[in-house]
Amino acid sequence: MPLSLRSVDVSIECNGEELTPYGADIEGEALVSAYVASQVDQTLEVADPDLEDVPFELDIANLGLIQIKILRVVDTRQKRISERSKKAGSHRIGLGEEVESSPSRTQSTSKKLDSVDEPWVAFNFRYLPEDMLRAKGIIPLKPSHPTATASIAYSP
């Protein structure tokens, strides 16, 4: 089950399986925090196709925390239209000769609406072994095996 805030859904996966977030808490307008159970020698991954190939930073001071910050951006490219095109109203096209060209380099022109210090939305996933999360009361204890009890009826 992903964490969700401001129409953004994010979850953590381990071995391709989505982990259950425990103790989810909304902190302010733009931050959601939760715990996930980590496993020895297993890799945790952010499960959101929109977040692929996004750079990340490793902060040794925050081991045990996966923090995801989402910023909004606006495309600031302006398309130029010639005066002739505006007046013509319609146009015809045809296929020409094949022309070999070199790959073009596209430069992104966008403006950030949010900053890293004040993101649109942020998700904090704290990870600990399942036993530690149970010991802290974050994950409910496993039901114990029922014990057999005997009752003896006494009649004087």
Q: How many domains does the chain have?
A: 1
Q: pTM higher than 0.75 for the full model?
A: no
Whether 85 maps to a domain, the answer reads no
What is the H or E stretch that residue 32 is in?
strand 31-38
Whether 155 maps to a domain, the answer reads no
CB 5 within 8 A of CB 34: no
- pLDDT tens for each residue of 84-136: 555 555 555 555 565 565 665 555 678 889 998 999 999 999 999 999 999 99
Domain, as residue range, for 40? 1-78+115-142
List CB contacts of 24: < 8 A, sequence separation 6 or more: 3, 32, 33, 34
Q: Which of 49, 39, 50, 33 is nearest to 15 (CA)?
A: 39
Whether 149 maps to a domain, the answer reads no
- pLDDT tens for each residue of 7-57: 889 999 888 899 999 999 999 899 999 999 988 888 888 876 666 666 667
